[in-house]
Amino acid sequence: MTPRSAQLIDGANQALASAQRELEAQDLESAAERACVAMLRLAKACLDVDGVSPGPAKAVCSEYGRRFVQTGLMYSAYFRWLLDAADLRKAAGSDIAAPIDYDAAATVVERAEIFRDATTRFVARSAR
């Protein structure tokens, strides 16, 4: 595992801890935002394995899908979850979108935790 990958995974863990606290406090928009940030950091950790460091969230999602889903290295569901989290994050920041409900926020946090576990295993295996 590269120092950058470790840093990204650590940052994702911190974001997930924040997301869980915010979910418990019923701050649903913040919980969804933090879970999305965690998932983006995890996707960046996967990309770091290949020496790739894309910038904005859209580039991260696109490159993750191309390198890990199209090649079958990671489950396609993770990519769908990443895109869904990004959409939820965008909705949370919009005054036009309907408020995020508890189930949606809880789902994105749970998926981010699953993605974290899979990413951590993938990055650790790739370092060998």
pLDDT, tens digit (0-9, with 9 covering 90-100), for 91-119:
766 655 567 889 999 999 999 999 999 99
| CATH T-level fold of 3-126 | Four Helix Bundle (Hemerythrin (Met), subunit A) (1.20.120)
Would you kindly state where each structural domain of the chain is located, as residue ranges? 3-126
Rounded distance, CA 12 to CA 19, Å? 10
pLDDT tens across 63-76, in order?
999 998 888 888 89
Taking all residues of the chain, what is their mean pLDDT, rounded to a whole number?
89
Contact 15, 7 (CB under 8 A): no
- The pLDDT score that the predictor gives to residue 109 is 95
Rounded distance, CA 113 to CA 58, Å? 21
